[in-house]
Structure 1
Amino acid sequence: MTGMVRVATLNIWCRHGDWPARREVLRAEFARLQPDLIAVQETVVNGEYDQVRELLGDEYHLLHQGRRAREGVGCSIAARWEPQEVREVDHLVTDRVDPDDFPGRSTLAEFDTPVGRVLLAHHKPNWQVPYERERELQAVDAARAIEQAVAGRPDVHVVLAGDFDARPETASIRFWTGRQSLGDLSVNYQDAWEFAHRDEPGHTFTIENPLIVAEADWSRIPPRRIDYLMVRCDDRGPTLRINSCERLLAQPVDGVHASDHFGVIADLAG
């Protein structure tokens, strides 16, 4: 099957900072780029307000994680197509994981797309810098759930997306990219940025963006690449061709930075 799917991921930083100005930049850029599948983190959704709907309008089907932290903060998926199957994976893996601060779930959602059936795995592990053990356990839980979902279904493509809060050299990312096993499991996903840009750093969380010190001072942390799009591999490599991968909203628009993160956007072909 041929065809193309454009996938994006971005942490939109709730409604912090100048949300009305940031909202207009986000709206304009998503309208210009027209992604088909969007994984967004730190979205505010509660009984009175849906930040993703406010941002994207009625053009997309929306999926919001069932467990959300304070004020309705969590993760969401926007898709051109109606979801066919949806599963959520719990990530409350140790006593250090506070569900009031961290929703503790990943979402696996399947869609019929121009490249065939795609399972979008929206993964969001713990954000705290010292919590790599939690991120390792959460990666294994998510990967195991994905493997169970696609077992015996070689025609299903898996796209893994999200703010992983881990650098490429950490154990959790090395696990996802097939450089090491964790526990009794090994998997292999092709990091789209690495495929398209090789040794370019591609930082997505950096003090080059003034918003990371605006309300929560991250000025002591070095530049990091922590936001990812990946494609699950079969025996011969990624099951979708990575035609391109770029950072999303990595420059201000009329002086406005869209978020404290830069996102990632990729074109994937069948």
Structure 2
Amino acid sequence: MPTRTEGPERLRLVTLNTWGTRGDWPRRLEIFRSGFAGLDADVITLQETMLGPDVDQAAAVLGPGYQLVQQQVREPDGQGITTASRWPVGRVSEVDLHVTDRTHDFACTCLITEILAAPPIGRVWVANHFPDYQLDHEYERTLQTVLVARELERLAREAPGHVVVAGDLDADSAADSLRFWTGRHVIDGMSVCYRSAWESYRPGEPLTTYPPDNPWSVDPDWPFRGIDHVLVRCDRHGPTLAIERAERCFDRGPTTASDHYGLVVDLAALPDRA
């Protein structure tokens, strides 16, 4: 378990696809509750959470102490995404990611939340990004990625602050959509640069969050294995928050919490850079 450094100069972020309430949900719920209590995160981005008249999966998993920001336009069964914050929340918006006829059977979206952290970190725009998952939809993922990136650039100009993209991006580092995020690819005449927390803290170490040996895996030959990411927006010097730790979480034990493994990332304020 990562060592926690207390204080407003640190932000601990966790991202995880919860896999709804599939499998042995009572047992998985126990693992979630104990795991999140131990992680002690400030901000959490969850995907595939269930929300309805009789269920609020994110609330059940996290317990009290978090403000929950819920996706509004969800799957017919209530599945969607949730962002949780211990810190005050400002503006919230959803980016509609239905970009072609092939995206209309999945509630793909990006939930952008303004996190109002105390100085020295200050404002953080957190994008819980959940694009199309289908293996042959990288075209759609690139269109969705550009839509989100443009909106984040607009928000950062309007209300400057740090920008973090975290979620199940359904693509690995070789994909055009991830190469765009990390400054290696241009899409629709646009380029940005975000630093992968995993690449920064663990250079050269492959990222695997959707492995075939996970007890809940139902896709033994899924070609993309490192599909959950935390990305920090860069200025001309590099990422605007120091990446002090990046580890997998919920990845141990005979029964894991989800068909995905999560990521826990510690970010820290940097001194002013001219």
Q: Within 5 Å, which residues of 2 pair with 1:46-57? A: 46-57=52-63
Aligned counterpart in structure 1 of residue 109 of structure 2, from 94, 105, 111: 105
Q: Partner of 1:63: helix, strand, or coil?
A: strand
Aligned counterpart in structure 1 of residue 152 of structure 2, from 146, 151, 157: 146
Distance in 2 (CA, whole Å) between partners of 1:219 and 1:243 is 33
Q: For the Cα contact (< 8 Å) 1:12–1:259, is it kept in 2?
A: yes
Distance in 2 (CA, whole Å) between partners of 1:265 and 1:28 is 15
Amino acid at match of 2:47: Q
State the match for 1:33 in structure 2: 39
| Structure-1-length-normalised TM-score | 0.94
State the match for 2:187 in structure 1: 182
Q: Which moved more, 1:1-10 or 1:230-239?
A: 1-10
Shift in Å, 1:102: 1.6
Q: For the Cα contact (< 8 Å) 2:172–2:224, is it kept in 1?
A: no
Q: Within 5 Å, which residues of 2 pair with 1:34-73? A: 34-73=40-79
State the match for 1:87 in structure 2: 93
Shift in Å, 1:260: 0.2
Q: Within 5 Å, which residues of 2 pair with 1:85-234? A: 85-98=91-104, 101-114=105-118, 115-151=121-157, 153-154=159-160, 156-213=161-218, 218-222=219-223, 224-234=225-235
Q: Partner of 1:212: helix, strand, or coil?
A: coil
Distance in 2 (CA, whole Å) between partners of 1:195 and 1:126 is 26
Distance in 2 (CA, whole Å) between partners of 1:128 and 1:11 is 16
Shift in Å, 1:60: 0.4
Overall identity of the aligned pairs, in %: 43
Q: Partner of 1:71: helix, strand, or coil?
A: coil
Distance in 2 (CA, whole Å) between partners of 1:168 and 1:223 is 9
Distance in 2 (CA, whole Å) between partners of 1:262 and 1:2 is 27
CA RMSD of aligned residues (A): 1.3
Q: For the Cα contact (< 8 Å) 2:8–2:117, is it kept in 1?
A: no
Q: Which has the higher contact order (CA 8 A, sep 6+)?
A: 1
Match status 1:266 vs 2:270: no
Distance in 2 (CA, whole Å) between partners of 1:126 and 1:150 is 25
State the match for 2:17 in structure 1: 11
Q: For the Cα contact (< 8 Å) 2:215–2:255, is it kept in 1?
A: no
Amino acid at match of 2:111: T
| Structure-2-length-normalised TM-score | 0.92
**Cα deviation code 1:59-87 (max 9, x no counterpart):** 10001011101210000001002311111
Distance in 1 (CA, whole Å) between partners of 2:89 and 2:234 is 23
Amino acid at match of 1:269: A
Amino acid at match of 1:51: Q
- Moved runs in structure 1, 4+ residues, more than 3 A? none
Distance in 2 (CA, whole Å) between partners of 1:153 and 1:59 is 27
Distance in 2 (CA, whole Å) between partners of 1:223 and 1:125 is 14
Distance in 2 (CA, whole Å) between partners of 1:4 and 1:89 is 28
**Cα deviation code 1:79-132 (max 9, x no counterpart):** 00231111110000000112xx42121111111114111110110000101000
Q: Partner of 2:102: helix, strand, or coil?
A: coil
Q: For the Cα contact (< 8 Å) 1:45–1:74, is it kept in 2?
A: yes
Amino acid at match of 2:109: R
